[in-house]
Structure 1
Amino acid sequence: MLFDDIRNGAVDRLAIGLSGLCLVHCVASAIFVAVLASAGGLLLHPMIHEVGLMFAIALGIVALGRGILDHGFMMPSAVGGLGLGVMAGSLQLPEGGLGTVYTVLGVSILALGHDLNRRARS
């Protein structure tokens, strides 16, 4: 059952959805912090980003790795890995500003990798 869901692209769709939630979180946090600076500490806590990156890496390994086994194309995994790398690198930048820009860029690249993986299965 689980392997059927993985083969049918369900994990890629889940990962794309998680990328979208991350994107909304990053943009909403930046706007929210600009409006209510006192609440920004909770939303921009480093632990949220570290745990989110852990989930993104785990889903990437399962979905993109399984994609290589199913369809044999490395490009989706390479694009997804680049996105994960950009996301991981953004953790080293200060919150807000450039850190948010790199996080959004990394999430977008990762979502593209999952979309390419999903399309390669069809």
Structure 2
Amino acid sequence: MRSAIIAIRDRLDRAGVLLSGLCMVHCVLGVVLVGVLGLGGGVLMSPAIHRYGLVLALAVGLVSLGFGVMRHGRLGPLVLGGFGLALMAAAIAVGHGLPEAVLTVLGVSLVAFAHIRNLHAAC
């Protein structure tokens, strides 16, 4: 049973890294396609996509990083991930544009790094 929980937590951390990367690609492509080419603004920049993405990031991040603290006792990944999630939430609050892109990229980078640290701390 314990090994199954560890496997789930590890998968969640890996999913967190993948989702962070996809979020970053979405953000950069959105800025390029909408800002430079004027394409896809209605779909790519939809506030609903960003809200659902943040909810998913919060769920995966808090569960996997929280389980990590219970497993290895290190708060660092959880604090780092929490700060990254806060930056992602701030990005939604500032609206579309360069500030949103910068906050999002910084936030997802920190969240991805926190998941990687969480995986390494568990070894």
- With the shorter chain as reference, the TM-score category is over 0.9
The answer to whether the 8 Å contact 1:6/1:66 transfers is no
1:38, distance to aligned residue in structure 2 (A): 4.6
User: C-alpha separation between the residues in 2 aligned to 1:5 and 1:42?
Assistant: 35
Q: Spell out, residue by residue over 1:51-70, the C-alpha distance to the aligned partner (whole angstroms, 9 max, x if none).
A: 00000000012100100110
Structure 1 unmatched runs, 5+? none
Find out whether 1:6 has 2:4 as its counterpart. Answer: no
Residues 24-63 of structure 1: matches in 2 within 5 Å?
A: 24-63=25-64
Letter in 2 for 1:72: G
Q: CA deviation at 1:96?
A: 1.7
Large movers: runs of 4+ above 6 Å:
none
Deviation of 1:4 (Å): 3.6
Residue 66 of structure 2 is aligned to residue 65 of structure 1 = yes
More helix by share: 2
Kindly report the root-mean-square deviation, in angstroms, between the aligned alpha carbons of the 2 structures.
1.4
Q: How many percent of aligned residue pairs carry the same amino acid?
A: 44
Unaligned runs of 5+ in 2: none
SS in 2 for 1:76: helix
In the alignment, which residue of structure 2 is the partner of 1:120?
A: 121
Instruction: Provide the C-alpha distance between the structure 2 equivalents of 1:81 and 1:110, rounded to a whole number of angstroms.
Output: 8
Equivalent pairs, count:
121
* 2:34 counterpart letter in structure 1: V
